[in-house]
Amino acid sequence: MKTIQFITMRVTEHPVFQNFWYPVLPAVDLQDEPVAFELLGQRLVLWRDGTGQVAVMRDRCCHRTAQLSRGKVVDGNLRCPYHGWQFNAKGICVQVPQLADMPIPASYRVSAYPSAERYGYLWVCLGEPIAPLPEIPEAEQPGFRVIPEFYEMWHCSGLRLMENSFDNAHLSFVHAATFGLQQEPAPADSEITELADGFQFQSVVPVANSPLQQQNLGMTSDRTHRILNSRWFLPFTRKLHITYPNGLIHIIVTAATPIHDSSSQIVQFCIRNDQESDAKAADIIAFDRAVTLEDRAILETTDWDTPLALDAEQHMPSDKPGIIMRHKLAALIRQHSHS
Ligand code: FES
Ligand SMILES: [Fe+2]
């Protein structure tokens, strides 16, 4: 078994990461054509069968390895572009044009994986789930609206984005142009409650309130504060739950779905207890977008091959969330390591 000194966040080297649910695609982006997605270094094809049901399979034909995502959905099956073999949603080959009526060997099949549709996204687990799909009750409650914000690949590891989400010390620097208070770099205090599959994070953070945000929040003051009651879900999903003094709730859910060791698919949506007539979705996205691009510019410069040993990097008290993440990730990897 590897000691912690040698454990890094090369996610493809740790099979345990296959046992979590990850959002891989906005559900509306999967229509008649198959779509390719790489998850934990595994090439997948997503498609909808004749009933609209989502199928997820390895994107590699069992005949001559052609990419099935270049094929077509025909009669509710996925047809390989190379020799036309057809596979059903379970990955079983149900038609081989060249064999006419001869029986199809049972070995003609590709691996299929479970999927779920939740919060407007398609989620996939490559193994046996060891944690439920992250619960975001507000996304399904009346009085709240869900706004898809963006979906894009970043060159950084999931851990880097997760620890950044709970890092009160970077706001005055990275977010000076959006909401950080430049003259007040001291990080707000926070309280963390550890949970089996992550933690709960509470903090009250003073922030600048730009003209765009004044409009989005319905508050004219040029500064305000955020009451945070946020959640980290192992391994790479965060839920920032922000309440503003006027009662407005702005929840940002972000997943850093691991594509490969050095890249993550960033899936972000927000949930609010107001309506389009109160604040336009486009303006809300514009603000959150600007903030996230500020983070991206920094996070893509960090080492993606993040070590979990604490002596590999230097720390300060406000780094506690990231330290707990390192402990929990290292424990998880060790617990499920067979070598
Ligand atoms: S490679 Fe797929 S049918 Fe031949
Ligand atoms: Fe940030």
pLDDT band at 182 (very low <50, low <70, confident <90, very high): confident
Query: Above pLDDT 70, what percent of the chain?
Result: 98
Q: What is the pTM of this model?
A: 0.95
**337 pLDDT more than 90:** no
pLDDT at residue 1, rounded to an integer: 56
- Note the ligand closest to the C-alpha atom of 68: 1
Ligand nearest to the CA of 178: 2
Ligand 1 pocket mutation pick from 64, 77, 95 by most atoms within 8 angstroms of CB:
64
- Mean pLDDT, the chain, rounded, equals 96
The pLDDT tens digits of the residues spanning 184-242 come to: 899 999 999 999 999 999 999 999 999 999 999 999 999 999 999 999 999 999 999 99
Take atom 4 of ligand 1 and give the residue whose Cα is closest. 83
70 lines ligand 1 (CB under 6 A): no
* 50: confidence class by pLDDT, cuts 50, 70, 90: confident
Residue-range domains of the chain with CATH: 18-124 (2.102.10.10), 137-335 (3.90.380.10)
- Cβ contacts of 289-292, under 8 Å, gap ≥ 24: 289/149, 289/150, 290/177, 290/178, 291/175, 291/178, 291/179, 292/149, 292/150, 292/254, 292/266, 292/268
Determine the pLDDT at residue 29: 98
pLDDT reported for residue 107: 98
Residue given tokens 């009669």 in the structure block: 75
* Ligand 1 atom with minimal separation from the 83 CA: 3
Mutate to test the pocket of ligand 1, among 58, 59, 60, 63 (most ligand atoms within 8 A of CB): 63
Query: What integer pLDDT is reported at residue 2 of this predicted model?
Result: 62
Which ligand 1 atom sits nearest the alpha carbon of residue 66? Answer: 1
93 lines ligand 1 (CB under 6 A): no
4: pLDDT strictly greater than 90: no
Rounded CA separation 181/33 (Å) = 47
10 Å CB burial of residue 277 (0-12, 13-18, 19+) is exposed
Residue with CA at minimum distance from ligand 1 atom 3: 83
User: 144: Cβ below 6 Å to ligand 1?
Assistant: no
- SS3 category, 279: coil
DSSP 10-70: -GGG-GGGGGS-EEEEEGGG-SSS-EEEEETTEEEEEEE-TTS-EEEEESS-TTT---GGG
Determine whether the shortest distance from the Cβ of 269 to ligand 1 is under 6 A: no
Residues 272/285, Cβ–Cβ less than 8 Å: no
- pLDDT of 41 reads 98
Whether the CB of 119 sits within 6 Å of ligand 1: no
Q: Report the range of poorest mean pLDDT among 107-116, 175-184, 247-256.
A: 175-184
